Amino acid sequence: MFDLPVGRPAIMGILNVTEDSFSDGGRHFDPEAAIAAGLRMRDEGADLIDVGGESTRPGADPVPAAEELRRVIPVISALSVQGVKVSIDTMKAEVASAALAAGAVVVNDVMGLRGPGMIEVVAAHQCPVCIMHMQGSPQTMQSAPHYDDVVREVRAFLLRQAAVVEEAGLQAERVWIDPGIGFGKTVEHNLKLLNGLGKFVATSYPVLLGVSRKSFIGRVLGGEEPLPIEERGEGAHAVHVWAQIQGVRVLRVHDVVATVRTVRMIEAIAQA
């Protein structure tokens, strides 16, 4: 079981057991290194560790299910045994199902439950699920993203998928939604979604947000010469403050220590 904290957003630490993720690819490809990183993030204050075995960066090659399972299952089992709350970041029902059996307590699906069998898996397990919006697939999403009204269209997609999974039997309070920053969106689309976060929070589904180290931050702060990944921290924390004040319930981040401090500071002000 995983219950969201009340009064502050939960902090979800990112653990990519991949060779090619856009910011930490290769660093945690060895299971021992991945397990150590997960334990460290838990000790630093992460509420949940998001384990993924397939990069979703633009143009990333798909990973077969057997390889994804080989990467994530030993890491999920070892972390769960040690009491770490784990979410599985996958688009595949087969991987979600095995991860839940290995101890994961949340499913994080960047395809927003569009893949075969995913709805049935989460409904059967009654686990919290994050439905994320993506236009297209990781291979195609950044080629020419287009929306007439990005906030309205993304929100409508998320509400539609939430209704479908609830009809399949998942309890409504287990549904989280995520506008999918950087997934088939231009810089302007991302900024409009962040500006309109309140419209997602107003649905009353818990909102998850993932902006950590993403390229729109580099573009907004660097312009013609985007800031490199390692210089995007301040931009991400500014977004996290904005998100927390709007009522976002989960922040998906690489930098746990800095996010814990930011969140505690805002929480202290809000409770004074």
Only one of the segments 12-20, 26-34, 186-194, 223-231 lies at the binding site for ligand HH2 (rule: CB under 6 A); that segment is 12-20
Nearer to ligand HH2, 81 or 195 (CB): 195
Interface with ligand HH2 in residues 40-59 (CB under 6 A)? 52, 55-57
Among the listed ranges 72-80, 149-157, 173-181, 193-201, the one in contact with ligand HH2 (CB under 6 A) is: 173-181
In the set 208, 227, 243, 263, which binds ligand HH2 (CB under 6 A)? 208
Report how far apart, in Å, the C-alpha atoms of 242 and of each of 9, 38, 238, 256, 260 are: 12, 27, 6, 17, 15
Q: Report the residue from 14, 46, 107, 239 that binds ligand HH2 according to the rule CB under 6 A.
A: 14
Q: Does 210 interact with ligand HH2 (rule: CB under 6 A)?
A: yes
Cα–Cα nearest to 253, from 177, 181, 155:
181
Residue 62 phi, psi (nearest 5): -65, 150
Position of tokens 């990069």? 55
Based on the residue annotation, tell me whether 85 is a catalytic residue of this protein: no
The region of 11-19, 75-83, 113-121, 187-195 touching ligand HH2 under the rule CB under 6 A is 11-19
| Dist. CA 213–CA 253, nearest whole Å | 8
Among 132, 194, 253, 266, binds ligand HH2 (CB under 6 A): 132
Answer yes or no: 214 catalytic. yes
Residue with tokens 């580099």: 218
Site string for ligand HH2, 57-96 (x = CB under 6 A): x-------------------------------x-------
Instruction: Using DSSP, state whether 242 is helix, strand or coil.
Output: helix
Pick the closest to residue 178 from 9, 36, 38 (CA basis): 9
Residue whose entry in the numeric block shows the structure tokens 């979800």? 12
251 near ligand HH2 (CB under 6 A): no
Pick from 178, 206, 219, 262: which binds ligand HH2 (CB under 6 A)?
178
Residue 21 binding ligand HH2, by CB under 6 A: yes
**DSSP states along 88-145:** EE-S-HHHHHHHHHTT--EEEETTTT-STTHHHHHHHHT--EEEE--SS-TTTTTSS-
Provide the mask over 93-112, with x wherever binding to ligand HH2 is found by CB under 6 A and - wherever it is not: ---------------x-x--
Q: Which of 175, 194, 252, 262 binds ligand HH2 (CB under 6 A)?
A: 252
Please provide residue 59's backbone torsions phi and psi, each rounded to the nearest 5 degrees: 85, 0
Alpha-carbon separation of residue 222 from 8, 182, 215 (angstroms): 30, 17, 10
Largest CA distance in the chain: 51
- Tokens describing residue 207: 């909102």
Q: Which residue is nearest to ligand HH2 (CB)?
A: 210
User: Active-site residue among 174, 219, 232, 252?
Assistant: 252
Taking the least distance from each CB to ligand HH2, the nearer of 57 and 199 is 57
Q: Which spans of this chain sit near ligand HH2 (rule: CB under 6 A)?
A: 14, 16, 18, 21-23, 52, 55-57, 89, 108, 110, 130, 132, 178, 180-181, 208, 210, 252
Active site residues: 214, 252
